[in-house]
Every structure is written in structure tokens, then in C-alpha cells.
Structure 1
Amino acid sequence: MSNERIIYLPLGGAGEIGMNCYVYGYGAPGEERLIVVDLGVAFPDMDTSPGVDIIFADISWLEKNRDRIEAVFITHAHEDHVGAVGHCFERLGVKVYARAFTANLARQKLAEYGYSEDTVQTCSKWPETVTAGPFTVGFLPISHSIPESSALVIDTPAGRLVHTGDFKLDHEPLVGEAFDPELWAEVSASGVKAMICDSTNVFNEHEGRSESELGPNIEELISAAPQMVVATTFASNVARVKTLADAGVKAGRSICLLGRAMRRMIEAAIETGVLVDFPRVVSPEEAVEIPRENLMLIVTGSQGERRAASAQLSRGKYNGIELKEGDLFLFSSKTIPGNEKEVIRIMNNFSERGVDVVDDAGGKYHVSGHANGPDLARLQDIVQPQIVVPMHGEHRHLRQHVKLAEQKGRTGVLAVNGMMIDLSGNVPTVAEWIEAGRTYLDGSVQIGALDGIVRDRIRMALNGHVLVTVILDEDDEPLGEPWCELRGLPETGRSNAALVEVLEEDLNQFMGRAGDKTLTDDDKLEEGLRRIVRNTSQNEIGKKPEVTVVISRLS
């Protein structure tokens, strides 16, 4: 019996929504040839990752096995699937495969790091395929909220796998390819060993809605608006951007796109032929000369991003344009969990300016790009996989998706980041556990989530900081008194004296009592000074701050 096996290893996206990164392998244990599916990012928040720019999967295991990797395949151009390709390419060094629209955006990301266009290979849709070692991979069209989304049909010597990517069952997506059940049935007719499937909306019990349903509602809203209209949505949702623009034109308005990502997405869609008949747009310079009642802006920042156009407009002028009382601002998007505070802040900023804000609470102006529970069940019925492996979801989503598979008489596997699954036999098994952490892009530097840098940043934010400086002379005697500098702490405490003076007095007393063993040993001296600061601060203000001690010795 052959000892070769198929493995599936999620490094990101299984146990969370976002940061997608999946590995497939075929071969003898420990010697499998590998392909990587998606290299995506997640976005930070001030509570858990302050100051961080973006987050992506820890690819240390892939880097260690770099000589076994055949290729990287990108399912679609959302940031949580392609956003890390530029940050990771040097460490992996293999060719990237994607369809035209996704390839266009991936090349832009790689160009920022100086890589040539040849790094990304543009692929055609199924039935054309790419051979990568023991794998034959084809891009199977599926509808989503961005053009040219594709599932991957992954053929191995031990059976066919289908990796759905993100998807919905939309028969009229307006832009991009409609879901084709006959094609999917044809692809699945020869048998599918495992379907690795999007789980984002598994809890929604209603069938998903089509993008084509939104046009009349949006047109009615914009036509009734008396003054300037501004709408925000995901820049990658090209179909929605077109729906908004078409509605604005029908209402007699000029269209202006604000935000780099918005312009880049529309340009890429036009360049690659997935978007046709997009209305003419005006520049921001032209927009300021147009009467307000004849202008519509389509802007970035639907998730409350501080530097995006929506947030900047909510704080004042942006590119010379300012919203005023009676203007209309439409959120044609769903707020991703975790972004609520930022979005509500923008809404309140607009409200204070007298701007009327319309969100999607009633479902009139947004539909999801992900399959709901009944849609997931329908796709299982079409594909008839032997095994269902949920991905792209928090643990609760994956668990519910396993239940859905088992209700339909199929084997479901709950695999989270770092859990390597052997799919070779009739019953999947856990083959190995891999360390699957996170990498932070902090400015221009990549750091590990467990390196302690962000942890220290959080601790300083929570507790404040005290810098203590002492000088000792050639005889290891204190030269003058210790002094402190405080950051993020109250000026006075329980004693009603200045906190800095109380700290310096207690530190001076400590230095006066300290013996030679302490004064000649930097480690002991630092430990004692830190303890005094923390204990005194606890008594004065009820907090133990972070402490940095600088000891200078004159030689």
C-alpha cells in the first residue's frame, strides 16, 4: 500500500474570519509537495494590536519547507486573501497564479517591493488548468462580491479536492460570473474526495439574496435626496460601486470617486475587461465646482478606517469637499464585527454636521457576498463531497458547518489553524500540529505576535510609564538624587503631593539605605528601584506602571 497522502493545513482563516492562508500537500509524510492557497491579511484594533498596520499568518513553517512549495494560488482579490502576497513573497519565492483581475492587483502589491510582473502568472478559468508538481489546479468560477472569484479544483493522485474560496450562489451578480450549478455538477460528477468550504454566513437561515435586487432601492433613495449624496461600500465590490454610480447618473448627478482603493479597483476592473459601461467620473477638483444637488461621491471607508475618505469627510474637508446640513450619507455595506465603534463614530460626526445617515439595518441597500446556511447545504448537494472541511470562519462557524455536513450524512472535519489533516483515507485524521501564529507589520518591520513588542505597548497604554535615572560616581556612590519622568500618569495621588516628587523622595531614601552589594550590582539596583516605583505608585494612584531604569556610572 502506498504511504503517500493528501494533507490540508490551515495557517490562517480557520478559527477567524480573514487572514486566509491554506496549504495542501501530496506525497510521503514529511516529504509532501506543497501548494499554498491565498495569502491574506487581517486588520488590527486598538484593544489587541495598537499601532500595528496589518496582520497576516505566521509562515515560518512554510519558509522552513520552502524547497517543497510548488506554487501559490489566489482565489480572489479581497485583502484577506491577497493582501499579504507582497509581504510574504521573498520568504517563499515561488510563482503566484491568479485570474486576470486578481493578478492585476497582486502585481501592484508585488511591484511595491520591486518584483517584476512575471512573478504573477495570469490563468484562464476552468477547464484550463495549471500543473504544479503532483497537483493539477483549475480556477472554477463562482459568484462573490468581487469580480472573477474562483473556487479551485485541485486534482491529486489520490482524488479531487474542491476549495470553494469565498462565494455566494448569485445567478445575477451584475459584474462577474453568475453561479452555474450545471458546471459545478459536471466538475463534481467524477467524485470529490473533500470540499473545503467558506463558513462565514453558516448561521443565516435564509437563502442568500442577489446583487441585482438592490438597484431600485438605491435609485429611489438617491432620487429623493435634496442635496449632495455620498455613498460608501467596499471598494472591491465593483458591482455595488457600479450600481451606486448608475443610480447617481439616473438622478442627474455627476459621479466622483474618492479614495485610492476605490479608484484602483475600478481601474483594474476596466483594464481587465470585467467592468464595462462604467459612468464617466469627475475629478475632486471638478467636483467642487458642481452644484451640491447635482453631485454624488462614492468613497472608501465603509469600515470606519481612520485615514479613508469617509472618516476624513466626517471630520471636515477632504480634497476640498465638505458635507453640510441636509446632505445624505449612505453606508451600502455591512459593518464587519469589531469595526462597530469606528463606524458609529463616523455616523455621529456626520450627525453633528446635520448630515442624514442611512445604514443597511433594513437590508435595502446591501446584500452579503457569502453563502448562507441553505446555500451551503445546496452546494453540498451539488458537489456531493465525501468529506466537508469548513474554513473561513470563527470556531463557532466551523463547528456549525460540521453539524450541517453531518445532518446531510457526510463526514465533517473541524480543523483550526495549525491542525494538519490527513485526507487520504475514508476517515480523515489529525496528522500533526503546526505552530500557527500571527505576524504583525509594524511600520516597515515584521514582528511576531508573541515577541512581546505589542504586549509591552498595551501594558504601557494600560499602566503608564515611569523613567528613572540615577548616576553613581567612581566609588559607586550616588551622585545627586534619582529623578523621574512620567508618561500617562496622574500628576498627584492620595497624598495630594506631586506624584513625581513622592517617587523621587522614596527612591532617594532607597539609594541612601542601599548597601555596597546593591550599589555595585546593576541588576540588583534596577530591581530595587523598579520595586519602589511600583509600590509607591500603587499606594498613591492605585496603579503599578511600567518602569524603565537608566543607571549611569562615572569611570
Structure 2
Amino acid sequence: MCRHCLSGWPATIERCPTKLLPTFIIEHADLLEGGGISHLIPQQQDLWFVPLGGTGEIGMNFNVYGHANQWLIVDCGVSFDEPLVAPYKTSPHTGVTKHRVVAPDPTFMTERRDDIAAMVITHAHEDHIGAVAALWPRLRCRIITTPFTAAVLQRKLAQAGLVGKVPVDIVQPGAQKTVGPYTLQWLTMTHSIPEPQALLIHTAVGSVLHTADWKIDGQPVSGSPFNANPFRALGESDLLAVVGDSTNATKAGFSISERICAEGLFSTIKACKGRVVVGCFGSNIARLISLGRIANKTGRYLACVGRSLENMVGVAKETGYWPDDVTVITPSHVGYLPPEEVLVVATGSQGERRAALNRLATDALPYFELEAGDTVIFSSIVIPGNEKPVERLVEKLVAKQVSVIQSEHSDLPIHASGHPCVEELKLMYQWTRPQIVIPVHGEPVHLAAHAEVAKSVGVRKTYVGLNGDMYLLAPQPGIRRDRVSTGRIPLDQ
């Protein structure tokens, strides 16, 4: 019985029908009709959004749009060291054993793979691209992405034995392409990796801006400064919805520029006497370029230790994003150099057990060993959930009498986030003026904060949900809770 009006409606219904009947009908049509939404087949008048990963969590992004009997997948990423059972929803998998790499369960789309128009990859970060090679054999759809991301993807496909088997269409940043009932337009953003793209999805019933990862950076180290003009133009186009990045929605102000971060790193490294090792995310090409130029200015040689770093540098050179003034030496040469001439970039800033930083901390790296007087700089933040592994790593380094500088405790800016803070989100919604905002790419606290930011600048409708919820964008907006089965699957056995 409804606790609000004592009617016969089920007690589990969140909204009382006497107060919000239209919303109730949208969210609980299955109770009124005895079934689902046409067996989850989107009709000509429908536009749906269904996140299978990345909503209610940070990482493992897998987003699906449904319209006119066809589905569009946006991104296909992984997460690291996560339990198979998500904490926010029942999973079809049992057990809570942690696996090093996990991907979203694609069952909802594998059951509909004949109706997949395409998969679009917005950029080459692991939480957006990392599951493609593992999941493509189940989906068997064509993939569309830009040149740099395609080059990263081809290396992953080669490792999986899928060279020549996966249809990959390459589009230039800013291109437009029609795929089934969707007309797609790529909009270049600023982020920490080359060619970050937002995706403008046009349909017969409305247009959606899927931002993916972005920030406003007027002084990027790699790529062009952020251009607001395309987003201002959207404000004149009656934009239906924005599906957007929530990572920093709890942080006031603006994110700092990558160039400001480079200045902070230069000042920090210049003051160091022995070897300097910088831990950062392996795909942060902008940070790598900054560190290469800092090595030049401080009389040091740059080496990259870790497979992901080496791969990214190789792709950046292959696609023309690596500058001629930055030289990288092989790690095996580091041991022959005087300590004050060494600048190493290493993977493992999140305390990953098998990454380069942890191996350095335990003298398990063959190239060189850290000694008293050396410095390790964490040019990164600690991702929620990784506090303990990072703490253990720092303890090992300190025990070796190595100086440790973490971005959270540094007086200088030695890390720059690639995601928008509150004032950047406000500007985006003031420019684009969407009818609806759907926060994604964040934990529940980030999603809720993002919705409040959107409301504060006049967005009338915001829908906060989780993986497996179905967001109805047209013909009548609403949200169906827990409509689609989701879960996590291990990618390493």
C-alpha cells in the first residue's frame, strides 16, 4: 500500500501516483500494462539511453542509445581491481573476489547484436576503450573512432589476435557521419590525451550531446585550446539532452590547465638532487610531453617504464602527436647515468602490484634501483578505492629513504585533472541550454552533485540513475529503474 495516499499501489513505488501521476506512469508502465517497453525494442518515436557501465561508478564506461529499432554503443571500457559484484546492484555473477581487470557484462547488447548500428569510441583512455578487444567477438559490430584512438585500438586488437577481423572506420575530429537512424557529429574537447571527442547524436526525435571526458583548457600542452563556439551554437538548436561527465562535480571552481601543472612539475623537479621518478597515468600524453620538456630544461634524460607508457609514446609518434624536441631513452640505459641526470616516468601511481612503481619499491626492476636521496613524485590523484594500495606503496618507498611527493600534499600544482569542475559544468549548460541533463561517469555522490549544478543554471529536468536504468528521452522523458541486467566480468583468468 502506498504510504502517501493509502491507495492500493505497491508500497515499493518511489513516487505516489496521486502526486506525480505522469512521472509514475512513465517510470512504472510495466505495473500498469503488465509488461515492458515493447520488449525493449525502441520504436521510431523512441530515444532511449541505457548505461551498462560507468554510471554509479568511475570507470568501465559502456553506454547504449536506442532509436528506431537500432542501438548505438558509445565507449567500451574496463575498470581495475574491482569486485565482480557491484556494490549498488545485484549481479548475475557470484562471489566478491577481486580481479585485476573487469569489463561490463555485455549480455544486453549481445542479445541484440544484429541491431547494433555501430560502436563509437570517444577517446583512448582504458575506461573507454579497454574492453573492446575482449567484448567485440560477442558484439561483432563496426567500430568508429578518430585516428589516434584507432591506432591505440589496433595495437589492442593485435594483442588479441583480431587484426583484420574487426571493421574500424576512421573519422577525422569534427567529422559528421550517418549510421543507421543516427547522424553523428564529432566535437573536439580538451582532455589529457589526443583527440578527445564529444559525440552529438542527431535523431528524428531529438539530439543528444554525449560529452565523454572533457575540461575547459585554454592552454593545453597537446592539441588546440578549448573552443566554446560549437557548444554556444547548440544553445540555439533546441538540444534535447546532455549526457555528461560527473567526475569533478563535487569540486568548486575550474580545473587547472595542463600548462600550469607543467610549471609546478618543473619547479618541483628542478629542486631535486638525485634520480626523479614520476608516477602518472600511462595514457596521459600531455603529461609525458610536459615531463620530456622538463627533462630538457633540467639536464636530465627521460625514460618511460611500463608497457602502457611505451605503447602510448609509440602511438603518439606514429600519429604525429609526439614533438620533435622530446627524446625518450630506453630504460636499460638509466642504470648507467648519474642520478642527477635521470627522469623516469613510471606506471603504477594507483599502487598496482605489478606496475613499475611497485617493482621499483621492491627492487624488482632490472634497469636500476632507487636509493636514498632519490625522489618519487605522484603526478596523479588517488582514485577512490585505491587508498590502501597507494599507502602501502608510499610506505615501501619511505622505508628505502626515498623522498615522496604526492599531489594531494604538494604546495605546487603537480597534477591536473582532465575533467570539468563546477564552473565548467555551469558554462557548458549555459552555452548548450539542454532540456534534460543525465549525469554519468561518476559515483552516486558525483551524479547527484552534477544534477544540482545543472539545476542551478536553469536545466529543468535532470535524471540521476545507475547502470541498468533506462532513461527515456523521447517521446516523453522519464526513467525506468533497474530495467536492464548489468554486471561485471573478469578479463584476466
State TM-score, norm by structure 1: 0.76
Provide, for residues 484-506 of structure 1, a one-character-per-residue CA deviation record: whole Å limited to 9, x for no partner.
Answer: xxxxxxxxxxxxxxxxxxxxxxx
The change in CA–CA distance for 1:210 and 1:428 in structure 2 (over 3 A counts) is: same
Match of 2:56 among 7, 11, 15: 15
Deviation for aligned residue 1:398: 1.4
Residue 247 of structure 1: SS of its match in structure 2? helix
Q: Which whole-Å CA distance do the structure 2 matches of 1:69 and 1:343 have between them?
A: 40
The change in CA–CA distance for 1:47 and 1:364 in structure 2 (over 3 A counts) is: farther
Equivalent runs, 1:417-436 vs 2, <5 Å: 417-425=467-475, 427-430=477-480, 433-436=483-486
Deviation for aligned residue 1:354: 0.9
1:275 equivalent in alignment to 2:331: no
Gapped regions of structure 1 (runs ≥ 5): 444-555
The residue number in structure 2 matching 1:460 is none
Equivalent runs, 1:44-193 vs 2, <5 Å: 44-45=81-82, 49-50=96-97, 52-117=99-164, 119-126=167-174, 128-193=175-240
Q: Which whole-Å CA distance do the structure 2 matches of 1:13 and 1:330 have between them?
A: 29
Aligned partner letter, 1:22: N
1:313 equivalent in alignment to 2:360: yes
Provide, for residues 30-53 of structure 1, a one-character-per-residue CA deviation record: whole Å limited to 9, x for no partner.
Answer: xx2111000011112589754523
Q: Which whole-Å CA distance do the structure 1 matches of 2:289 and 2:347 have between them?
A: 14
Aligned partner letter, 1:105: V
Aligned partner letter, 2:66: G
Q: Which whole-Å CA distance do the structure 2 matches of 1:400 and 1:286 have between them?
A: 48
Q: Which whole-Å CA distance do the structure 2 matches of 1:281 and 1:432 have between them?
A: 49
Aligned partner letter, 1:239: A
User: Contact 1:284 / 1:319 at 8 angstroms: preserved in 2?
Assistant: no
Match of 2:76 among 39, 60, 73: 39
Aligned partner letter, 2:80: F
RMSD over aligned Cα, in angstroms?
A: 1.8
Gapped regions of structure 2 (runs ≥ 5): 1-42, 86-95
Aligned partner letter, 1:428: G
Residue 214 of structure 1: SS of its match in structure 2? helix
User: Contact 1:15 / 1:393 at 8 angstroms: preserved in 2?
Assistant: yes
Q: Which whole-Å CA distance do the structure 2 matches of 1:60 and 1:209 have between them?
A: 39
Deviation for aligned residue 1:3: 5.8
Aligned residues, how many? 437
Deviation for aligned residue 1:187: 4.3
The change in CA–CA distance for 1:103 and 1:278 in structure 2 (over 3 A counts) is: farther
Residue 55 of structure 1: SS of its match in structure 2? strand
The residue number in structure 1 matching 2:311 is 264
Equivalent runs, 1:113-512 vs 2, <5 Å: 113-117=160-164, 119-126=167-174, 128-361=175-408, 362=410, 364-410=413-459, 411-425=461-475, 427-430=477-480, 433-443=483-493
Provide, for residues 198-226 of structure 1, a one-character-per-residue CA deviation record: whole Å limited to 9, x for no partner.
Answer: 11110101221111112222222222211
The change in CA–CA distance for 1:3 and 1:230 in structure 2 (over 3 A counts) is: closer
Q: Which whole-Å CA distance do the structure 2 matches of 1:354 and 1:199 have between them?
A: 39
User: Contact 1:39 / 1:84 at 8 angstroms: preserved in 2?
Assistant: yes
Provide, for residues 28-87 of structure 1, a one-character-per-residue CA deviation record: whole Å limited to 9, x for no partner.
Answer: xxxx21110000111125897545231111111101111110100011111111110011
Deviation for aligned residue 1:428: 3.1
Provide, for residues 237-256 of structure 1, a one-character-per-residue CA deviation record: whole Å limited to 9, x for no partner.
Answer: 11111111211221111111
Aligned partner letter, 1:129: Q
Deviation for aligned residue 1:278: 4.9
Q: Which whole-Å CA distance do the structure 1 matches of 2:245 and 2:271 have between them?
A: 38
Deviation for aligned residue 1:188: 4.4
Aligned partner letter, 2:229: E
Provide, for residues 5-26 of structure 1, a one-character-per-residue CA deviation record: whole Å limited to 9, x for no partner.
Answer: 1111111111111110010011
Q: Which whole-Å CA distance do the structure 2 matches of 1:94 and 1:225 have between them?
A: 51
Residue 133 of structure 2: SS of its match in structure 1? helix
Provide, for residues 77-123 of structure 1, a one-character-per-residue CA deviation record: whole Å limited to 9, x for no partner.
Answer: 11111110011101110111111111111111122222235622211
State which structure, 1 or 2, has the greater radius of gyration over its C-alpha atoms. 1
> What is the identity percentage for the equivalent residue pairs of Structure 1 and Structure 2?
35
User: Contact 1:106 / 1:120 at 8 angstroms: preserved in 2?
Assistant: no
Q: Which whole-Å CA distance do the structure 2 matches of 1:348 and 1:275 have between them?
A: 35
Q: Which whole-Å CA distance do the structure 2 matches of 1:106 and 1:132 have between them?
A: 20
Deviation for aligned residue 1:288: 1.4
Q: Which whole-Å CA distance do the structure 1 matches of 2:390 and 2:224 have between them?
A: 31
Q: Which whole-Å CA distance do the structure 1 matches of 2:82 and 2:490 have between them?
A: 12
The change in CA–CA distance for 1:79 and 1:135 in structure 2 (over 3 A counts) is: same
Aligned partner letter, 1:383: T
The residue number in structure 2 matching 1:546 is none
Deviation for aligned residue 1:176: 2.6
Residue 99 of structure 2: SS of its match in structure 1? coil
User: Contact 2:334 / 2:367 at 8 angstroms: preserved in 1?
Assistant: no
The change in CA–CA distance for 1:316 and 1:367 in structure 2 (over 3 A counts) is: same
User: Contact 2:205 / 2:475 at 8 angstroms: preserved in 1?
Assistant: no
Provide, for residues 248-291 of structure 1, a one-character-per-residue CA deviation record: whole Å limited to 9, x for no partner.
Answer: 22111111111111111111112112232352122122221111
Match of 1:24 among 65, 69, 79: 65
User: Contact 1:202 / 1:371 at 8 angstroms: preserved in 2?
Assistant: yes
Aligned partner letter, 1:135: Y
Residue 43 of structure 1: SS of its match in structure 2? strand
Equivalent runs, 1:513-524 vs 2, <5 Å: none
The change in CA–CA distance for 1:245 and 1:107 in structure 2 (over 3 A counts) is: same
